[in-house]
Amino acid sequence: MDIASANTTQITGSAASSAAKTTTDTTQAGTLINSDFETFLKMLTTQMNNQDPLNPMESTDFAVQLATFSGVEQQVRTNDLLSAMQNQLGAMGMSDLAGWVGMEVRAETAAQFDGSAITLQPDPPSGATRAWVVVRDTFGNLVDRVEVPISDEQIKWAGVDAAGDPIPPGTYSFFLQSYADDVMLGEEQIAVYSEVVEARMDNGQTKLILAGGGEIMAADVDAMRRPGG
Protein backbone atom coordinates (compact mmCIF):
# COMPACT_ATOMS: atom_id res chain seq x y z
CA MET A 1 0.00 0.00 0.00
CA ASP A 2 1.39 3.39 -0.98
CA ILE A 3 0.42 5.90 1.66
CA ALA A 4 1.49 9.53 1.36
CA SER A 5 4.18 10.40 3.89
CA ALA A 6 3.77 13.30 6.28
CA ASN A 7 5.74 16.48 5.50
CA THR A 8 7.60 16.24 8.76
CA THR A 9 8.51 13.36 11.02
CA GLN A 10 8.39 13.86 14.74
CA ILE A 11 9.54 11.73 17.62
CA THR A 12 8.24 13.32 20.78
CA GLY A 13 6.93 12.53 24.24
CA SER A 14 7.60 12.10 27.87
CA ALA A 15 10.45 9.64 27.19
CA ALA A 16 12.73 12.42 25.90
CA SER A 17 11.75 14.90 28.61
CA SER A 18 12.04 12.23 31.31
CA ALA A 19 15.48 11.19 30.09
CA ALA A 20 16.58 14.82 29.95
CA LYS A 21 15.33 15.45 33.49
CA THR A 22 17.04 12.33 34.83
CA THR A 23 20.30 13.30 33.15
CA THR A 24 20.05 16.83 34.59
CA ASP A 25 19.39 15.52 38.10
CA THR A 26 22.27 13.07 37.83
CA THR A 27 24.62 15.78 36.55
CA GLN A 28 23.66 18.13 39.40
CA ALA A 29 24.21 15.34 41.92
CA GLY A 30 27.58 14.57 40.36
CA THR A 31 28.63 18.22 40.57
CA LEU A 32 27.73 18.29 44.28
CA ILE A 33 29.64 15.07 45.02
CA ASN A 34 32.69 16.24 43.06
CA SER A 35 32.62 19.51 45.01
CA ASP A 36 32.47 17.65 48.35
CA PHE A 37 35.27 15.35 47.18
CA GLU A 38 37.56 18.27 46.33
CA THR A 39 36.72 20.03 49.62
CA PHE A 40 37.51 16.87 51.61
CA LEU A 41 40.83 16.46 49.79
CA LYS A 42 41.83 20.07 50.51
CA MET A 43 40.89 19.75 54.18
CA LEU A 44 42.89 16.53 54.57
CA THR A 45 45.94 18.04 52.87
CA THR A 46 45.74 21.20 54.98
CA GLN A 47 45.36 19.16 58.16
CA MET A 48 48.46 17.10 57.35
CA ASN A 49 50.54 20.18 56.46
CA ASN A 50 49.61 21.98 59.67
CA GLN A 51 49.69 19.17 62.22
CA ASP A 52 51.94 19.46 65.26
CA PRO A 53 55.21 17.59 64.56
CA LEU A 54 55.46 16.79 68.27
CA ASN A 55 51.88 15.50 68.35
CA PRO A 56 51.15 14.05 64.92
CA MET A 57 47.85 12.55 63.84
CA GLU A 58 47.16 9.10 65.21
CA SER A 59 47.57 6.36 62.63
CA THR A 60 44.04 5.10 63.33
CA ASP A 61 42.59 8.58 62.69
CA PHE A 62 44.56 8.86 59.50
CA ALA A 63 43.32 5.43 58.37
CA VAL A 64 39.71 6.49 59.02
CA GLN A 65 40.15 9.63 56.97
CA LEU A 66 41.77 7.67 54.14
CA ALA A 67 38.83 5.24 54.18
CA THR A 68 36.46 8.19 54.00
CA PHE A 69 38.48 9.60 51.12
CA SER A 70 38.26 6.26 49.31
CA GLY A 71 34.48 6.08 49.85
CA VAL A 72 33.92 9.54 48.44
CA GLU A 73 36.12 8.75 45.44
CA GLN A 74 34.14 5.55 44.79
CA GLN A 75 30.87 7.50 45.01
CA VAL A 76 32.13 9.95 42.38
CA ARG A 77 33.05 7.10 40.03
CA THR A 78 29.67 5.40 40.59
CA ASN A 79 27.87 8.64 39.84
CA ASP A 80 29.82 9.09 36.59
CA LEU A 81 28.95 5.52 35.57
CA LEU A 82 25.24 6.06 36.32
CA SER A 83 25.26 9.28 34.31
CA ALA A 84 26.79 7.50 31.32
CA MET A 85 24.22 4.70 31.59
CA GLN A 86 21.34 7.21 31.71
CA ASN A 87 22.61 8.90 28.55
CA GLN A 88 22.93 5.55 26.79
CA LEU A 89 19.43 4.42 27.82
CA GLY A 90 17.95 7.70 26.63
CA ALA A 91 19.61 7.31 23.23
CA MET A 92 18.40 3.71 22.97
CA GLY A 93 14.83 4.79 23.75
CA MET A 94 14.85 7.40 21.00
CA SER A 95 16.35 4.87 18.59
CA ASP A 96 13.52 2.43 19.33
CA LEU A 97 10.93 5.13 18.59
CA ALA A 98 12.67 6.10 15.36
CA GLY A 99 12.44 2.49 14.18
CA TRP A 100 8.65 2.79 13.90
CA VAL A 101 8.53 5.94 11.80
CA GLY A 102 8.00 5.35 8.08
CA MET A 103 7.00 1.71 8.56
CA GLU A 104 3.58 0.25 7.74
CA VAL A 105 1.90 -1.47 10.69
CA ARG A 106 -1.13 -3.73 10.76
CA ALA A 107 -3.85 -3.28 13.37
CA GLU A 108 -7.61 -3.27 13.77
CA THR A 109 -8.09 0.44 13.21
CA ALA A 110 -9.38 2.93 10.66
CA ALA A 111 -7.14 3.72 7.69
CA GLN A 112 -6.50 6.80 5.59
CA PHE A 113 -7.51 6.35 1.94
CA ASP A 114 -5.75 8.66 -0.52
CA GLY A 115 -6.73 6.97 -3.78
CA SER A 116 -4.30 4.07 -3.50
CA ALA A 117 -5.43 0.54 -2.66
CA ILE A 118 -5.53 -0.43 1.02
CA THR A 119 -4.30 -3.84 2.18
CA LEU A 120 -6.79 -5.73 4.37
CA GLN A 121 -6.24 -8.84 6.45
CA PRO A 122 -9.63 -10.59 6.86
CA ASP A 123 -10.00 -13.52 9.26
CA PRO A 124 -13.28 -15.38 8.64
CA PRO A 125 -14.52 -17.51 11.56
CA SER A 126 -14.70 -21.28 11.35
CA GLY A 127 -17.92 -22.43 9.72
CA ALA A 128 -18.36 -19.37 7.51
CA THR A 129 -19.50 -20.10 3.97
CA ARG A 130 -19.72 -16.52 2.64
CA ALA A 131 -18.21 -13.20 3.68
CA TRP A 132 -18.47 -9.53 2.79
CA VAL A 133 -16.13 -6.61 3.44
CA VAL A 134 -18.12 -3.65 4.71
CA VAL A 135 -16.60 -0.17 4.50
CA ARG A 136 -17.83 2.71 6.66
CA ASP A 137 -16.82 6.36 6.91
CA THR A 138 -16.04 8.26 10.12
CA PHE A 139 -19.77 8.80 10.73
CA GLY A 140 -20.57 5.09 10.42
CA ASN A 141 -22.24 5.47 7.03
CA LEU A 142 -22.01 2.51 4.64
CA VAL A 143 -19.62 3.34 1.80
CA ASP A 144 -19.03 -0.03 0.15
CA ARG A 145 -19.91 -3.71 0.56
CA VAL A 146 -18.21 -6.38 -1.51
CA GLU A 147 -18.16 -10.18 -1.24
CA VAL A 148 -14.75 -11.75 -0.68
CA PRO A 149 -13.45 -15.35 -0.64
CA ILE A 150 -13.48 -17.36 2.60
CA SER A 151 -9.76 -17.05 3.25
CA ASP A 152 -7.29 -15.35 5.57
CA GLU A 153 -5.20 -14.19 2.60
CA GLN A 154 -4.60 -10.45 2.23
CA ILE A 155 -6.89 -8.58 -0.14
CA LYS A 156 -6.77 -5.10 -1.67
CA TRP A 157 -9.59 -2.60 -1.39
CA ALA A 158 -9.34 -0.45 -4.51
CA GLY A 159 -11.59 2.35 -3.27
CA VAL A 160 -14.35 2.16 -5.88
CA ASP A 161 -18.04 1.58 -5.27
CA ALA A 162 -20.36 -0.99 -6.87
CA ALA A 163 -20.81 1.26 -9.91
CA GLY A 164 -17.04 1.56 -10.39
CA ASP A 165 -16.92 5.19 -9.29
CA PRO A 166 -13.96 6.25 -7.13
CA ILE A 167 -14.65 6.82 -3.45
CA PRO A 168 -13.45 10.19 -2.09
CA PRO A 169 -10.25 10.27 -0.03
CA GLY A 170 -10.82 10.07 3.69
CA THR A 171 -10.63 7.86 6.75
CA TYR A 172 -12.51 4.57 6.55
CA SER A 173 -13.08 1.54 8.77
CA PHE A 174 -13.33 -2.01 7.46
CA PHE A 175 -15.41 -4.88 8.82
CA LEU A 176 -15.95 -8.50 7.83
CA GLN A 177 -19.51 -9.82 7.86
CA SER A 178 -19.47 -13.62 7.93
CA TYR A 179 -22.39 -15.95 7.15
CA ALA A 180 -23.08 -19.67 7.39
CA ASP A 181 -25.62 -20.12 4.62
CA ASP A 182 -28.12 -17.34 5.40
CA VAL A 183 -27.26 -17.00 9.09
CA MET A 184 -24.96 -14.13 10.03
CA LEU A 185 -22.15 -15.33 12.30
CA GLY A 186 -20.95 -11.87 13.20
CA GLU A 187 -19.19 -8.70 12.14
CA GLU A 188 -15.57 -8.08 13.12
CA GLN A 189 -13.23 -5.20 12.35
CA ILE A 190 -10.55 -6.06 9.80
CA ALA A 191 -6.88 -5.36 10.44
CA VAL A 192 -5.38 -2.92 7.91
CA TYR A 193 -1.92 -1.61 7.10
CA SER A 194 -1.22 2.08 7.78
CA GLU A 195 1.95 4.17 7.68
CA VAL A 196 3.46 5.44 10.94
CA VAL A 197 4.32 9.15 10.74
CA GLU A 198 5.19 9.73 14.40
CA ALA A 199 6.06 7.69 17.50
CA ARG A 200 5.97 8.92 21.08
CA MET A 201 5.99 7.62 24.65
CA ASP A 202 2.70 7.83 26.55
CA ASN A 203 2.68 6.71 30.20
CA GLY A 204 5.54 4.32 29.57
CA GLN A 205 4.01 2.83 26.41
CA THR A 206 4.76 3.52 22.75
CA LYS A 207 1.99 5.35 20.90
CA LEU A 208 1.98 5.43 17.10
CA ILE A 209 0.48 8.25 15.04
CA LEU A 210 -0.73 7.03 11.67
CA ALA A 211 -1.14 8.78 8.33
CA GLY A 212 -4.45 10.60 8.54
CA GLY A 213 -4.10 11.31 12.27
CA GLY A 214 -5.20 7.98 13.75
CA GLU A 215 -3.51 6.80 16.94
CA ILE A 216 -2.82 3.26 18.16
CA MET A 217 -0.64 1.70 20.82
CA ALA A 218 2.35 -0.33 19.64
CA ALA A 219 0.98 -3.28 21.64
CA ASP A 220 -2.02 -3.41 19.27
CA VAL A 221 0.20 -3.98 16.21
CA ASP A 222 0.28 -7.58 14.97
CA ALA A 223 2.52 -7.10 11.91
CA MET A 224 4.90 -4.57 10.39
CA ARG A 225 6.42 -4.13 6.94
CA ARG A 226 8.35 -1.64 4.83
CA PRO A 227 6.29 0.79 2.73
CA GLY A 228 4.96 -0.78 -0.45
CA GLY A 229 5.39 -4.31 0.89
pTM of the predicted model over 0.85: no
| Claim to verify: residue 128 and residue 87 sit in the same structural domain | no
Sort 102 into a burial class: Cβ within 10 Å, 0-12 / 13-18 / 19+.
Answer: middle
Q: Within this chain, do residues 83 and 126 fall inside the same structural domain, yes or no?
A: no
Average pLDDT over residues 105-134: 92
Verify that 24 and 94 share a domain, yes or no: yes
Mean pLDDT within 39-48 = 70
Alpha-carbon separation of residue 51 from 32, 39, 55 (angstroms): 28, 18, 7
The Cα–Cα gap between 110 and 26 comes to 43
Q: What is the CATH number for 170?
A: 2.60.40.4070
Residues 45 and 84 in one domain: yes
**Lowest-pLDDT range of 56-65, 121-130, 213-222:** 56-65
Report yes or no on 225 lying in a domain.
no
Given 98, 128, 149, which residue is the final one in a domain?
98
Claim to verify: residue 85 and residue 122 sit in the same structural domain? no
Total structural domains within the chain: 2
Distance CA 30, CA 45 (A): 22
Q: Give residue 67's pLDDT.
A: 64
Residue 82 is part of which domain span? 10-98
Residues 156 and 187 in one domain: yes
pLDDT at 42: 73
Mean pLDDT, rounded, of the chain: 77
Tell which wins on pLDDT, 195 or 18.
195
